[in-house]
A and B are shown apart, each in its own frame.
Chain A
Amino acid sequence: MNTVHELAEGIRSGDGRTLARALTMVENGDPRAAVLLHELYDPSATALTLGVTGPPGAGKSSMVNRLIAYWRGKGKKVGVLAVDPSSPFSGGALLGDRIRMQEHATDAGVFIRSMGSRGHLGGLSGSTRDSLELMIAAGYDPVMVETVGVGQAEVEVASLADLTILVLVPGAGDEVQTMKAGIMEVADVIVLNKADAGGMDRLQTAVESSLELVPDGIGRPPVVRFSAKTGQGLELLVEKILEEASSKTGDSRGARKRAMLVLESVLREKGRKMAASKVEEMFGGMEKAIDSVLRGETTPYGIGELLDKSFGEED
């Protein structure tokens, strides 16, 4: 088995096999992963990270594929994390985002990794950010993270990367799709995809009218018409991404924002773990705690109070 230091060296030197192994460690919650991430973290790294979200079938993977090609053309090493939902029943997952990106499978300057969301614990918020950090350490810039946006997931993805790109498509329910609470606030760039297929005016009107509801102070995101099929709008899309990136994370603010995102992700995981182990200590596990609620001895909120007290007593 390799030492953590050897792993770190391998990742920094651009060895794909080592990076792939480290990504697995992170996903599986291997205790050595935190040591590795600590060793690799370079506060001055400036890689751009992009979260890509939107409904299934909107063309997220196809758009990412176009962006890979664009940045490869500029000589950049591009990283992609493609997260698909895990089945809540079997825990398994069919990871198919790569199908749209396989033209880059033999390009040594492109690293694509598919991930199952694995429920919330190992899902979006925790190990996804850690995986992103590994890609940054390996020299990928930009790194894109694709996640299916259903419900809360868009809001989660916004706390993952420097910028969030929301991909929408024309179709029934344009208004509903764009009115969903939170979506408009979290998007830094809105892509109206499938511009080759029509229905764009209607969608754009719907999007712009929901954007009017966004408080002025936080700045309205640019809206770009795009076709992943024809490539139409690609230059403009990249231009908007770079503009937003330099206004939102330019210079030292980028490093600050990244450190904040990573710390938040660490806190989420640690907080959950510490609270869960307290519940284990006090009740003998989640199931036992639930039994206690069902017997009317306490409530989930009561357990929350107990946690407050027990953490308060410790310091």
Chain B
Amino acid sequence: MERKIRVLIGKPGLDGHDRGAKFIARALRDAGMEVIYTGIRQTPEAIANTAIQEDVDFVGLSLLSGAHNHLFPQVARLIREKGGDDIILFGGGVIPGEDIPGLEEAGFRAIFTPGTPASDVVEFIHEEMKNRR
């Protein structure tokens, strides 16, 4: 039985910069994962529904606009409400260090700040998958 890791890369909020999101999406693809990318300016509701329908193992959110404290927890809550409690969340973007504990509290297992090599994200995913089994 072949099991592929499936990851949704979501971009909530209003900023239109998706270079970072696409970069990570390609890196995860190259690491053998199936990556669903849904484009910019997605509502938390759309991201959560997509995560459920696509039955992903991970949801990674990318945001540069500074609205992460508001939007990230909202996505986390909606995903849980829709039955996706086992989906592992991570985030990335311009996120000040002092915001990270709050996001972790909201259910984000890792926050990657700009300049993090893509291999760190790949490694994080593989680690989490191990713990899961």
Contact = CB atoms under 8 A, between A and B. Distances in A.
Interface of A: 16-17, 20-21, 23-24, 27-31, 86-87, 90-96, 98-99, 102, 105-106, 111-114, 116, 118, 122
A28 B84 contact: no
Interface centre among B29, B31, B52 (most CB of A within 10 A): B29
A28 B34 contact: no
B38 interface: yes
A98 B50 contact: yes
Interface stretch (B41-49, B61-69, B103-111): B41-49
Contacts of A95: 34-37
Interface of B: 1-4, 6, 25-26, 28-39, 42-43, 45-46, 49-50, 52-55, 82-84
Contacts of B32: 90-92
B52 A17 contact: yes
B4 A116 contact: yes
22 contacts: A16-B53, A17-B52, A17-B82, A17-B84, A20-B53, A27-B4, A28-B4, A92-B28, A92-B29, A92-B33, A92-B34, A93-B34, A95-B37, A96-B36, A96-B37, A98-B36, A105-B50, A106-B46, A106-B49, A112-B50, A113-B53, A114-B54
Please report whether the interface of chain A is mostly helix, strand, loop or mixed according to DSSP.
Answer: mixed
A34 to B, nearest CB: 12
Contacts of A92: 28-35
B1 A28 contact: yes
B55 A23 contact: yes
